[in-house]
Amino acid sequence: MLVIDLSTGGTDGGRLHQLEGRGCEAGVSLIFTSTAEPGAGPYLHKHPYAVTFVIHAGRASFTVGDQELVGSADQVIVVPGFTPHKFAVLGPEPFWSTNIHASNTFVTEWLEGPRATLL
Protein backbone atom coordinates (compact mmCIF):
# COMPACT_ATOMS: atom_id res chain seq x y z
CA MET A 1 0.00 0.00 0.00
CA LEU A 2 1.15 3.52 -0.81
CA VAL A 3 -0.26 6.73 0.69
CA ILE A 4 0.55 10.03 -1.03
CA ASP A 5 -0.12 13.31 0.79
CA LEU A 6 -1.46 15.73 -1.83
CA SER A 7 -0.81 18.75 0.40
CA THR A 8 2.97 18.18 0.52
CA GLY A 9 3.68 15.76 -2.34
CA GLY A 10 4.85 18.33 -4.90
CA THR A 11 8.47 18.52 -6.02
CA ASP A 12 8.95 21.69 -3.95
CA GLY A 13 7.20 20.24 -0.91
CA GLY A 14 4.00 22.13 -1.80
CA ARG A 15 0.68 20.88 -3.11
CA LEU A 16 0.85 18.01 -5.62
CA HIS A 17 -0.75 18.97 -8.97
CA GLN A 18 -0.20 15.76 -10.92
CA LEU A 19 0.68 12.16 -10.27
CA GLU A 20 2.09 9.84 -12.92
CA GLY A 21 1.01 6.29 -12.16
CA ARG A 22 4.21 4.56 -13.20
CA GLY A 23 5.99 6.05 -10.19
CA CYS A 24 3.62 4.42 -7.72
CA GLU A 25 2.57 1.23 -9.53
CA ALA A 26 -0.85 2.66 -10.46
CA GLY A 27 -2.45 1.99 -13.84
CA VAL A 28 -3.66 5.58 -14.15
CA SER A 29 -2.19 9.09 -13.95
CA LEU A 30 -3.93 12.05 -12.31
CA ILE A 31 -4.05 15.81 -12.72
CA PHE A 32 -5.56 17.87 -9.90
CA THR A 33 -7.01 21.17 -11.14
CA SER A 34 -7.81 23.94 -8.67
CA THR A 35 -8.17 27.55 -9.83
CA ALA A 36 -10.60 30.46 -9.78
CA GLU A 37 -8.94 32.23 -12.73
CA PRO A 38 -11.50 32.65 -15.53
CA GLY A 39 -10.17 31.27 -18.80
CA ALA A 40 -7.57 29.03 -17.15
CA GLY A 41 -7.15 25.63 -18.75
CA PRO A 42 -5.10 23.74 -21.32
CA TYR A 43 -4.92 24.40 -25.05
CA LEU A 44 -6.53 21.93 -27.45
CA HIS A 45 -4.78 18.56 -27.23
CA LYS A 46 -5.40 14.81 -27.34
CA HIS A 47 -4.17 11.59 -25.76
CA PRO A 48 -4.05 7.98 -27.06
CA TYR A 49 -6.22 6.95 -24.09
CA ALA A 50 -9.44 8.11 -22.39
CA VAL A 51 -9.50 10.93 -19.85
CA THR A 52 -12.20 11.16 -17.17
CA PHE A 53 -12.87 14.56 -15.58
CA VAL A 54 -14.48 14.40 -12.14
CA ILE A 55 -15.69 17.92 -11.37
CA HIS A 56 -15.89 18.62 -7.64
CA ALA A 57 -16.67 22.37 -7.72
CA GLY A 58 -17.16 25.25 -10.15
CA ARG A 59 -17.79 25.30 -13.88
CA ALA A 60 -15.72 25.12 -17.06
CA SER A 61 -16.46 25.30 -20.76
CA PHE A 62 -15.32 22.06 -22.43
CA THR A 63 -14.60 21.41 -26.08
CA VAL A 64 -14.65 17.67 -26.81
CA GLY A 65 -14.23 16.85 -30.48
CA ASP A 66 -16.81 19.05 -32.25
CA GLN A 67 -19.03 19.41 -29.16
CA GLU A 68 -19.16 22.31 -26.69
CA LEU A 69 -20.58 21.89 -23.19
CA VAL A 70 -20.42 23.39 -19.73
CA GLY A 71 -19.21 20.97 -17.09
CA SER A 72 -20.13 21.72 -13.50
CA ALA A 73 -19.81 20.39 -9.97
CA ASP A 74 -20.99 16.81 -9.45
CA GLN A 75 -20.58 15.89 -13.12
CA VAL A 76 -18.21 13.43 -14.76
CA ILE A 77 -17.07 13.99 -18.34
CA VAL A 78 -15.40 11.14 -20.21
CA VAL A 79 -13.29 12.00 -23.26
CA PRO A 80 -12.50 9.00 -25.49
CA GLY A 81 -8.92 8.35 -26.55
CA PHE A 82 -7.60 10.28 -29.58
CA THR A 83 -10.36 12.93 -29.18
CA PRO A 84 -9.20 16.57 -29.25
CA HIS A 85 -10.30 18.42 -26.10
CA LYS A 86 -9.72 21.46 -23.91
CA PHE A 87 -11.47 23.37 -21.16
CA ALA A 88 -11.58 26.91 -19.81
CA VAL A 89 -12.67 27.83 -16.29
CA LEU A 90 -15.76 30.04 -16.26
CA GLY A 91 -15.49 31.46 -12.72
CA PRO A 92 -16.04 33.39 -10.61
CA GLU A 93 -16.18 30.45 -8.21
CA PRO A 94 -13.15 28.13 -7.98
CA PHE A 95 -13.01 25.17 -10.37
CA TRP A 96 -11.76 21.96 -8.82
CA SER A 97 -11.44 18.68 -10.71
CA THR A 98 -9.58 15.40 -10.70
CA ASN A 99 -8.59 14.40 -14.23
CA ILE A 100 -7.96 10.67 -14.57
CA HIS A 101 -5.75 9.59 -17.47
CA ALA A 102 -6.18 5.91 -18.38
CA SER A 103 -2.43 5.42 -18.62
CA ASN A 104 0.40 5.07 -16.13
CA THR A 105 2.27 7.85 -17.96
CA PHE A 106 1.17 11.13 -19.57
CA VAL A 107 1.16 11.13 -23.38
CA THR A 108 -0.08 14.41 -24.88
CA GLU A 109 -0.19 15.76 -28.43
CA TRP A 110 -0.71 19.54 -28.33
CA LEU A 111 -2.87 20.74 -31.22
CA GLU A 112 -2.82 24.51 -30.63
CA GLY A 113 -0.85 27.18 -28.77
CA PRO A 114 2.28 26.72 -26.72
CA ARG A 115 2.39 23.82 -24.29
CA ALA A 116 0.08 24.85 -21.46
CA THR A 117 1.17 24.82 -17.86
CA LEU A 118 -0.65 22.08 -16.03
CA LEU A 119 -2.88 23.45 -13.30
Q: Is residue 116 part of a domain?
A: no
CATH number of residue 53's parent domain: 2.60.120.10
Which range marks the domain in which residue 41 is found? 18-108
| pLDDT tens sequence across 64-105 | 999 999 999 999 999 999 999 999 999 899 999 999 999 999
Q: Is residue 9 part of a domain?
A: no
The string of DSSP letters for 38-86 reads TT-SPPSEE-SS-EEEEEEESEEEEEETTEEEEEETTEEEEE-TT--EE
Q: Is residue 12 part of a domain?
A: no
Q: Is the pLDDT of residue 37 over 80?
A: yes
pTM: 0.88
| pLDDT tens sequence across 3-17 | 877 777 666 666 668
